[in-house]
């Protein structure tokens, strides 16, 4: 039985969520809270398996409440947003930085054509997130206090003679957004490779995710259009509901083929196309996430001579995808996020005469 705490200040929405969650025999709603302060008290008293968290609440909002919970009583948290406005969804990702596992739209109302599907997706995600073993987030440092950086400054020497990299493909799922933000923010403005990303995320939040990434990235971030040529130093995020692939002429192709591993966009689909188009000139990165999407294809990239990287277990929220790639022998390097950035920058620095920001071709 999954024990759920519902945090929501609107009585109407709260009852709606209770109805949806209560319809599943494997879920027990063990408590509700109308404010962040009530949520903190309830977490200590009830010890739920998972929390659904409202964003806008009086006094302590959902972001600060999430952060406090992750600092004091780590618990899987799913953010529930009532709007898909781009500016609003971009701000929701602050909660993922604070330690929330996922962000979901509020299910469609009873009578809406999408009610059954959206309610089922909501319940399934809550149940899945309850299984994640979260860890404590330490309180934010006071202004002016910094951590030692000696462990991050050492150069990571690639265990390969590869010098022909031309494109980076990254796949991520649960826990991926903050890791992607960390990696991209550490890449320099003159980074010479295009970066293609598949991030598993609820439909409707991808544009907000792009805006959120762009706020801290030195590189421009965008949703691509079908047939668009990739450009060095640009970041492309797969759109909602489309597989993203890259062709041998360096153009992005989007399609609505059947989901792979139950997902569209799929990391496997992206990695397979990159392996075919770029071979040893590619770099593949598989980050935290449930399941095995992209794992076998990362191994295929490695077998063709590409540099392949998997996130380490210690820093992964869920080590499913990268762990599967490692067990298959598909990772050239197993690293934490900050060292992934260092390695990518190092590989970029080894390209002798990278042209300016023009279309990259395999």
Give the residue numbers annotated as catalytic, written as ranges. Answer: 173, 200, 293
Q: Of all helices (H) and strands (E), which one includes residue 172?
A: strand 167-172
**Number of helices (H) and strands (E), helices first, in the chain?**
12, 14
Distance between first and last Cα of the chain: 52
| Among the listed residues 193, 154, 200, 222, the one whose alpha carbon sits nearest the alpha carbon of residue 306 | 193
Residue 341's closest CA among 180, 226, 141?
Answer: 180
Reference 309, options 286, 293, 329, 288; nearest CA is 286
Spatial distance between the Cα atoms of 32 and 38, rounded to a whole number of angstroms: 9
* Whether the bond into 231 is cis, omega within 30 of 0: no
Query: How many Å apart are CA 128 and CA 265, to the nearest integer?
Result: 19
302 token code pair = 């490695």
Q: How many residues does the chain have?
A: 362
Long-range contacts of 355-358 (CB under 8 A, 24+ apart): 355/232, 356/232, 357/231, 357/232, 357/233, 357/234, 358/231, 358/232
Q: What is the distance between the alpha carbons of residues 91 and 215, in angstroms, rounded to a whole number?
A: 11
**What count of other Cβ atoms lies within 10 Å of the Cβ of residue 356?**
9
Query: Which residue do the tokens 């590869």 mark?
Result: 162
How far is the C-alpha of 80 from the C-alpha of 58, rounded, in Å? 16
Q: Are 167 and 354 in contact (CB under 8 A)?
A: no
């Amino acid at each position: 039985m999954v024990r759920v705490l519902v945090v929501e200040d609107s009585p109407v929405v709260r009852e709606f969520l209770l109805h949806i969650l209560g319809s599943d025999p494997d879920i027990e709603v063990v408590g509700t809270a109308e404010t962040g302060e009530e949520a903190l008290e309830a977490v200590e008293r009830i010890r739920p398996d998972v929390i659904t968290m409202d964003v806008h609440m009086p006094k302590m909002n959902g972001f600060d409440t999430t952060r406090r919970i992750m600092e004091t009583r780590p618990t899987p948290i799913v953010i529930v947003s009532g709007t898909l406005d781009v500016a609003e969804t971009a701000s929701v990702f602050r909660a993922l930085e604070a330690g929330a596992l996922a962000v979901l739209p509020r299910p469609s109302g009873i009578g809406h054509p999408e009610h059954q599907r959206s309610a089922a997706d909501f319940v399934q995600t809550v149940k899945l997130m309850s299984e994640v073993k979260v860890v404590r987030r330490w309180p934010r440092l006071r202004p002016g206090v910094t951590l030692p950086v000696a462990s991050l400054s050492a150069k990571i020497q690639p265990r390969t003679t590869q010098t022909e990299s031309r494109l980076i493909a990254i796949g991520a799922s649960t826990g991926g957004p903050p890791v992607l933000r960390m990696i991209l923010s550490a890449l320099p403005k003159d980074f010479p490779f295009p970066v293609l990303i598949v991030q598993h995320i609820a439909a409707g939040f991808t544009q907000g995710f792009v805006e959120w990434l762009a706020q801290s990235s030195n590189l421009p971030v965008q949703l691509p259009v079908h047939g668009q040529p990739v450009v060095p130093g640009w970041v492309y995020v797969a759109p909602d509901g489309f597989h993203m692939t890259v062709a041998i002429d360096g153009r992005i192709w989007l399609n609505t083929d059947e989901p792979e591993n139950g997902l569209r966009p799929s990391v496997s689909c992206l990695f397979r196309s990159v392996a075919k188009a770029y071979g040893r000139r590619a770099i593949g990165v598989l980050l935290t996430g449930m399941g095995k999407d992209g794992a076998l294809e990362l191994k295929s990239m490695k077998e063709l001579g590409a540099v392949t990287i998997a996130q380490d277990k210690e820093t992964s929220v869920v080590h499913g995808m990268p762990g599967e790639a490692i067990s298959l022998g598909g990772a050239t390097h197993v690293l934490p996020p900050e060292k992934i950035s260092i390695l990518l920058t190092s590989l970029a620095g080894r390209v002798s005469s990278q042209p300016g920001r023009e279309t990259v071709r395999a």
